[in-house]
Amino acid sequence: MATGQRTDVKEVVEYDGCTQTLLTPDGKTLVCLNALIEDSGPRVSLKLIDVDTSKPYFEKPKFLELTEFSNFYELLRLVSEALTGEDVASVQVDPGSHYLLVRSEGRVVAFDLEKRTSVTLEGKLKGVGDMRAAFIGSDQMYVVEQNLTKGYYKAHIVSFPDGKVVSDSEIGDLGMRGATKGPLMIVGPLKEYAVGIFDPAASKVLFALQLPTIDVWDKKVAAEDSTGGLFLGRLDSTDSMHIPLPLGPLPGPHAGAFSQDGKYLVVSLRNRSVVWDVGTGKQLSLMRPMRSLWVDDQDHVFGQFPKYRDMDAAEMEITLPSITTNNLGK
């Protein structure tokens, strides 16, 4: 990272293909799941491939197998995911690349990547196939029970893989994943924010952001800022940096139009909309995203703004190039 130079490359070949993959943080194992539609019914195979040799050292051809006697919704979901390329299983590796946990439709594989052997889950981890769970460090998981009480779910920090309870906690109905390094988690969406950094030991959100792209390395935080650049900060300091990123290929816009005189381009993406001066290539304005827009022959933009964060849905008239706005109501 410091020199910007590549130090190594491995080209892994898997002839059967992979519907879903995950590379362990140490780069030594490629987790390959392959969804297949067969006459007997859909199934998902699981392989753990040694990156150095491209050879699998663990295979489970029928990690998940469904037949005509299986639950209809399980069949429908698996076929849909197999055809569309969506994830067919939850695949998690702890930050130290010691343990692997693969789950789908109640089927569970837990694996010791260092010893290259399967492990048996005990204690609170016995029912982890149907629970929300995330690694928090190399030998602990945060698991959430299914029963809701007064708006919160009972949760536990447990040792892995023996499932012994380290401490009890609670959490709302939130998505969650472990930080790349350290005992914290990323949770969301929150009431007015897309994601938050959650301390499971203290059962509280330490920091929240309005865009979902974020990761944590110990006390360091990296996230997308409102301009599409990079925010770098620390949880133990108020100091931060905002780093602009070079422009890359434009993703498919949610809405976009040139002005009729060709002077301006208005484009809306998932998290922001931008007005560009075509002649200079400069950005004139950065706004919340629009669902649809139109530019008349007087360079007035009429845009539909859906509800976004704490801002209500509205229709706006925006005059170019001064960027004066007129709220037209809902």
Residues 116 and 262 occupy one common structural domain: no
Dump pLDDT digits (tens) for 20-32: 999 999 999 999 9
**Residue 205 near residue 196 (C-beta atoms within 8 A):** yes
Q: Is it the case that residue 327 has pLDDT exceeding 70? A: yes
- Residue after which a domain boundary falls, among 183, 210, 245: 183
174 plus 266 within the same structural domain: no
At position 69, the amino acid (one-letter code) is F
Would residue 206 count as lying in a domain? no
**Nearest residue to 92 (alpha-carbon basis) of 142, 147, 19:** 142
State mean pLDDT over 153-159: 94
Q: What is the mean pLDDT of residues 242-256?
A: 86
CB neighbourhood size of 123 (10 A): 15
Give the position of tokens 């139109």: 294
- What is the arrangement of strands in the sheet containing 220-224, beginning at the earlier edge strand? 214-217, 220-224, 230-234, 240-243
Quick check: 67 pLDDT over 70? no
Whether 136 is covered by a domain: the verdict is: yes
Shared domain for 165 and 273, answered yes or no, is no
Q: Which domain holds residue 308?
A: 255-329
- Examine the fold and report which residue of 161, 183, 205 is the final residue of a domain before the chain moves on: 183
Take residue 124 and report the two structure tokens written for it. Answer: 């609170």
Residue 225 lies in a domain: no
Token pair, residue 219, equals 């006390």
**pLDDT of residue 81 exceeding 70:** no
The answer as to whether 317 is a domain residue is yes
Cβ neighbours of residue 146 closer than 8 Å, sequence gap 6 or more: 130, 131, 153
Tokens of 77: 């979901």
The string of pLDDT tens digits covering residues 179-237 is 999 999 999 888 878 899 999 999 999 989 888 899 999 999 999 987 788 999 999 99
Is 128 in the same domain as 25?
A: yes
> 37 and 136: one domain?
yes
What residues contact 1, with CB distance under 8 A and at least 6 apart?
Answer: none
Res. 35: pLDDT tops 90: no
Residue 304 lies in a domain: yes
The total of structural domains in the chain comes to: 2
Q: For tokens 């492990």, what's the residue?
A: 119
Q: Is residue 273 part of a domain?
A: yes
Q: Are residues 170 and 25 in the same domain?
A: yes
pLDDT in tens, 121-152: 999 999 898 899 999 988 999 999 988 888 88
Q: Are residues 169 and 259 in the same domain?
A: no
Mean pLDDT of 252-269: 93
Residues 34 and 140 in one domain: yes
Do residues 173 and 285 both lie within one domain? no
Mean pLDDT for all residues in the chain: 89
170-188 pLDDT, tens per residue?
899 999 999 999 999 999 8
Instruction: Report the distance separating Cα 33 and Cα 36, nearest Å.
Output: 10
pLDDT value of residue 26: 93
d(CA 59, CA 30): 12
Query: Is the model more confident about 274 or about 66?
Result: 274
Span of 59-68, 184-193, 202-211, 263-272 with lowest mean pLDDT:
59-68
Q: How far apart are CA 133 and CA 125, in angstroms?
A: 9
- Boundary (domain end) residue, out of 163, 183, 203: 183
Q: Looking at residue 308, what is its pLDDT?
A: 81
Is residue 193 a part of any domain in this protein?
no
Helix (H) / strand (E) containing 159: strand 152-159
Q: What predicted TM-score, i.e. pTM, was given to this entire model?
A: 0.76
Contacts of residue 98, defined as CB under 8 A and 6 or more positions apart, other chains included, come to: 112, 113, 114, 138, 139
Considering the domain architecture, whether residues 162 and 78 belong to the same structural domain is answered as: yes
Which range (44-53, 185-194, 243-252, 294-303) has the least confidence? 243-252
- The pLDDT of residue 122: 95
Clarify whether residues 174 and 32 are in a common domain: yes
276-300 pLDDT, tens digit each: 999 999 989 989 899 999 999 999 9
Q: Quick one: 38 and 151 in the same domain?
A: yes
In a domain, 289, yes or no: yes
% pLDDT > 90, the chain? 64
- The yes-or-no verdict on residue 50 having pLDDT over 70 is yes
- The region that residue 54 occupies, defined by phi over 0 for left and psi between -120 and 50 for alpha, beta otherwise, is left
> What pLDDT band is residue 248 in, cutting at 50, 70 and 90?
confident
